[in-house]
Amino acid sequence: MGVVWGSSFLFMKVALAGVSFGQVAWSRLVLGGLTLGLIVLVTRPRVHNGPVLPRERIVWLHFLVIAITGCVIPHLLFAWAEQYVSSSLASIYNAVTPIMTALMATLAFRVERLVRGQVVGVLAGIFGVVVIIGPWQYAALTGDLWGQLACLGAAVCYGFTFGYTRRFLSGRPIAGATFAFLNIGLGGAIMLLLTPVLAWHPVVLTVPIVLSLVALGALGTGVAYIWNITVLRAWGPTNASTVTYVTPVVGVLLGVLILGETLSWHEPLGAALVLFGILLAQKRLRLPPRRSGAAREGAPGRADARGAALSSGTPGGTPPHAADRGRSPARPEIDLSGRA
């Protein structure tokens, strides 16, 4: 997903050479909705032989909310922003999504709790993004302030959507393909209603522009969203959103190789920090356990205790089973993904 969504910033930049920002967002959601609708029509996905589409009105209302906050608004913001900022910079700002998701999921919706290693991973990833941006060279970066604020606003919308989805829609018997179709399809329907405002403008179509719009809609907003929903529901919002750490790496590389944007020494370094943060946030790497107070003090008389331990069979000479008396059961670590 990081590769697909990282290339989306390139496709938006190419498409903006011939169409307006509203037409980019309009094409993205309409083509994505049509692609997902075709997939649902052919596969007819069901959960426990239930209906293909949900029947409860409240569920449709929840999908309408995430269609607005997770599709319509952020897609318009990113497309508008790329009129003023580079595709590389836009992809870098997109990496703020995980920190926004963590704040929304833990503070606003209270659906997750981060453990120590995951907090360090999120912070390491954000620090990596800062290194990629290179604030000490801020004057060398092109882009209007309002464009950058629009990118940050889109990241906030994504973070809200991840948390909202986990709070109100996770656990419902809805197939992943149907989930993605309702999300993108409702966003596309909203865009169709806004056609006179967003899409009724002259266009200049070339082969690269058309291919970029098709790839952005059918692939980046269509097929990739099925993948995204599957990961979100399996791993939880913060883990799922860490895929956006990979996005700036892909976005910067494509911007350099295809659009001729510059690549500085600090960007690969920041990318390495980002990948390290992903491994921690997804528990692929773990921090060393904290040492107890006795261990830090050095525990005088350790040799005598070791000798007593040999005779008693338990560490420190404690009689067998006595070490467990009066000890409260260890609290299980809360899994970020919410799985049992």
Find the distance separating the first CA and the last CA of the chain, reported in whole Å: 26
Radius of gyration for the chain, computed over Cα atoms and rounded to the nearest angstrom: 24
pLDDT tier for residue 14 given thresholds of 50, 70 and 90: very high
Place of tokens 């037409």: 23
Question: Lowest mean pLDDT: which of 61-75, 130-144, 247-261, 264-278?
Answer: 130-144
Q: Name the average pLDDT for the chain.
A: 79
Burial class from Cβ neighbours inside 10 Å (0-12, 13-18, 19+) for residue 57 reads exposed
CA 121, distance to chain mean position in Å, is 14
For residue 17, give the nearest of 183, 160, 152, 211 by alpha carbon.
211
Q: Residue 17: what residue type?
A: A
Mean pLDDT on 122-139: 75
Q: Residue 207: what residue type?
A: V
pTM: 0.75
Contact 124, 131 (CB under 8 A): no
CA 171, distance to chain mean position in Å, is 19
Highest mean pLDDT among 231-240, 292-301, 329-338: 231-240
Give the contacts of 126 (CB within 8 A, at least 6 positions apart).
95, 96, 98, 99, 277
Q: Which residue has the higher pLDDT, 40 or 242?
A: 40
Q: What is the greatest pairwise CA distance in the chain?
A: 89
Place of tokens 């338990």: 314
pLDDT for 211-236, tens place per residue?
999 999 999 999 887 877 777 767 77
In percent, how much of the chain has pLDDT > 70?
Answer: 79
Q: Which residue has the higher pLDDT, 240 or 255?
A: 255
Task: Write the secondary structure of the chain as one string of H (helix), E (strand) and C (coil).
Answer: CHHHHHHHHHHHHHHCCCCCHHHHHHHHHHHHHHHHHHHHHHHCCCCCCCCCCCCCHHHHHHHHHHHHHHHHHHHHHHHHHCCCCCHHHHHHHHCCHHHHHHHHHHHHCCCCCCCHHHHHHHHHHHHHHHHHHCHHHHHHCCCCHHHHHHHHHHHHHHHHHHHHHHHHCCCCCCCHHHHHHHHHHHHHHHHHHCHHHHCCCCCCCCHHHHHHHHHHHHHHHHHHHHHHHHHHHHHCHHHHHHHHHHHHHHHHHHHHHHHCCCCCCHHHHHHHHHHHHHHHHCCCCCCCCCCCHHHHHCCCCHHHHHHHHHHHCCHHHCCCCHHHCCCCCCCCCCCCCCCC
Rounded Cα gap, residues 124 and 322, in angstroms: 42
Highest mean pLDDT among 130-139, 196-205, 322-331: 196-205
Rounded Cα gap, residues 26 and 17, in angstroms: 16
> C-alpha angle with apex 226: 223 to 227, nearest 5 degrees?
95
pLDDT at 249: 81
